[in-house]
Amino acid sequence: MKQHTRCSITRRNDSPGAVALLIAALLVTGCAEEPKPPPAVKSVFALRIENLGEFAERSFPGRARAGQQVNRSFRVAGPLIEFPASVGDEVKEGELLARIDPTTYQSRVASVGGELRSAVAARDLAEAEFNRAADIKKKNPDLISDSEYDQRLGRRDTSRAQVTALESALKLAEDDLSYTFLQAPFDGVVVETYVENFETVIPRQPILRVLDPSSIEFVVQVPENLIGLAPYVESVAVRFDALPSITVDASIKEIGREVSQATRTYPVTLVMEQPEGAEILPGMAGQATIRSKPPENHELGLVGIDIPMTAVFNAGDEGKSFVWVIDRGSNTISRREITLGRLTRLGVLVASGLESGEWIVTKGVNTLSEGQEVNVLKSGTGETA
């Protein structure tokens, strides 16, 4: 593009000699070029280079949940007569949460217990009669017939079976009676109730929900091409959107064994303790940063620095590759030639040209110019870094 120049001559009532001298000076020095305006400050997404030749580090979004949580329900039916628990109550393991009227079950225990006592008495009598018959038959077989012996043996066996059946029935009745009390399975907090006192409830109907917030789980979805790094995890750190200044150490609790057909990811459950000075609540969203150290011969144990392909440009030279490096002191950019390695599933490896700790632009690299001032954004958030 042709460079524009600007000259201005102001008419004044000067003498012809002065005008001639001014024209001569302009012819010698030329007209001053109009200064080129600097490029506008542009907001860019950027990435801080880490030494990924030794460690692979990735972040995954997820959501917190209580380490223990359960809906409590009765195993038997009946009207509620006690329901002291309310939403927000802190409860201790074994504390009464609700109770249904035990009258019917108490009567059942008493009835079966009476039948069992009668059956035991009958069994003892049958045992004694059979033992006498057996003793007589052993000493003098002619004094007792085979049919009499068999009848006494049958009465003994029948009475034994009746006792066994009634003992089982009594155990079931006692269990049903114990099920009229609903207790806290662990120390926790009541977070929801589903019924009111004096309602008649049925078996397995949800009564209330209890969770233990002292231990927090965090579930992330890991792509199937990265799940192979799980055995080589060195550290896990979680940062929650609601608590941006706190980083919580975590560990892997379990890895799902079935990939999602929709997202091709595996669920990975992390576990952590509550941090000091803050409380993580179930449902909080955040990011888990998982750092692993795979062996060099592992498919993802790659040598070099892994960067997004969108950070690389060639500036019209097909034989070279460049990135924009950001000077964090002045927030200006400069072009840097790099040597690329092979492509990865996550981007491309940089064999040389970058150092750990440097910042590079990751998007919109073809719209920038040398020395341009930029406003660095945190990747994906739109907030300044």
Q: Looking up tokens 């249904």, which residue turns up?
A: 100
Task: Note the CATH architecture for domain 103-178.
Answer: Orthogonal Bundle (1.10)
Q: Which residues contact 364 (CB under 8 A, 6 or more apart)?
A: 42, 44, 45
Where does 56-67+211-292 sit in CATH, by number? 2.40.30.170
For position 317, what pLDDT does the model report?
77
- State how far the Cα of 252 lies from the Cα of 272, in Å rounded to an integer: 9
- The 10s digit of each residue's pLDDT in 305-340 is 778 888 999 877 778 999 999 998 899 999 999 988
Tokens of 294: 């795979």
Task: Note the CATH architecture for domain 43-53+302-377.
Answer: Beta Barrel (2.40)
Q: Which amino acid is at 36?
A: K
Within its chain, how far is the Cα of 131 from the centroid?
68
The whole model's pTM is what? 0.53
Give the gyration radius of the chain's Cα atoms.
Answer: 42
- The 10s digit of each residue's pLDDT in 181-239 is 999 999 999 999 999 999 999 999 999 999 998 889 999 998 887 787 788 888 999 99
Exposed e or buried b per residue across 313-350, where buried means at least 16 C-beta atoms within 10 angstroms of its C-beta: beeeeeeebbbbbbeeeeebbeeeebebbeebebbbbb
Tokens of 86: 């309310």
Q: Where are the domains of the chain?
A: 43-53+302-377, 56-67+211-292, 103-178
Tokens of 230: 């799980």
- State how far the Cα of 154 lies from the Cα of 237, in Å rounded to an integer: 72
